A = this chain, B = another copy of it.
Amino acid sequence: MKQIRIGLIGTGYIGRCHAIAYSQVATVFPLKAELVLDYLAEITPELAEQKAKEFGFKRSTGDWRDIVNDPNIDVIDICTPNFLHKEIALAAIANGKHVYSEKPLALTATEAKLMYQAAKKAGVKTLVGFNYIKNPTTQLAREIITNGEIGEVIHFYGTHNEDYLANENTPLDWHCIKEKAGLGALGDLAAHIVQMSQYLLGQEIISVIGDMQTVIQTRPNPNNLQERLAVENEDQATALVRFGNGCMGTIETSRIACGRKMGLSYVITGTKGSIIYTQERMAELKLYLHDENPARQGFKTILTGPLHPDYKNFCVSAGHGIGFNDQKTVEIRDLINGISENSTALYPDFEEGYKVSRILDAIALSCEQKRWVNVEEIE
- Residues of chain A touching chain B, judged by Cβ–Cβ distance below 8 Å, are 13, 17, 19-20, 22-24, 26-28, 30, 54-56, 150, 154-155, 157, 162-164, 166-168, 209-211, 213, 215, 236, 238-240, 242, 246, 248, 250, 252, 254, 256-262, 269-274, 279-284, 287-290, 294-303, 305, 307-308, 314-326, 370-372
Contact = CB atoms under 8 A, between A and B. Distances in A.
Contact of A252 (B157, B302, B314): B157
A324 B318 contact: no
Given A27-B20, A300-B296, A370-B372, A290 B259 contact: yes
Contacts of A162: 317
A378 B283 CA distance: 41
Contact of A261 (B248, B262, B318): B318
A45 to B, nearest CB: 21
A288 B273 contact: no
The A interface is mostly helix, strand or loop, or mixed, namely mixed
B287 A296 contact: yes
A318 to B, nearest CB: 4
B26 A56 contact: yes
B300 A274 contact: no
Given A259-B299, A262-B318, A298-B303, 19 more contacts: A19-B27, A27-B56, A155-B257, A166-B290, A209-B240, A211-B240, A256-B271, A258-B274, A258-B290, A259-B274, A261-B320, A279-B320, A297-B300, A301-B301, A314-B323, A323-B324, A323-B325, A325-B326, A370-B372
A153 to B, nearest CB: 11
A324 B322 contact: yes
Contact of A258 (B288, B321, B326): B288
A161 to B, nearest CB: 8
Contacts of A315: 17, 323-325
- Tell me how many chains of this kind the complex includes: 4
A279 B317 CA distance: 13
Given A154-B213, A236-B155, A250-B250, A24 B13 contact: no
A248 B335 CA distance: 40
Given A307-B294, A307-B295, A324-B314, A258 B236 contact: no
Contacts of A272: 258
Contacts of A257: 155, 269, 274
A261 B315 CA distance: 13
Contacts of A260: 274
Given A26-B23, A258-B273, A262-B320, A298 B287 contact: yes
Contact of A23 (B27, B54, B270): B27
Contacts of A302: 296-298
A38 B258 CA distance: 48
A263 to B, nearest CB: 8
Contacts of A372: 370-371
A48 to B, nearest CB: 16
Across the A-B interface, the 8 shortest Cβ-Cβ residue pairs: A261-B319, A323-B323, A259-B288, A262-B319, A322-B323, A23-B27, A298-B302, A295-B307
Central interface residue in A210, A246, A320, by most chain B CB within 10 Å: A320
15 contacts: A13-B316, A19-B27, A26-B56, A163-B290, A213-B246, A238-B240, A259-B298, A261-B318, A262-B320, A262-B321, A295-B308, A300-B301, A314-B325, A323-B324, A371-B372
A351 to B, nearest CB: 27
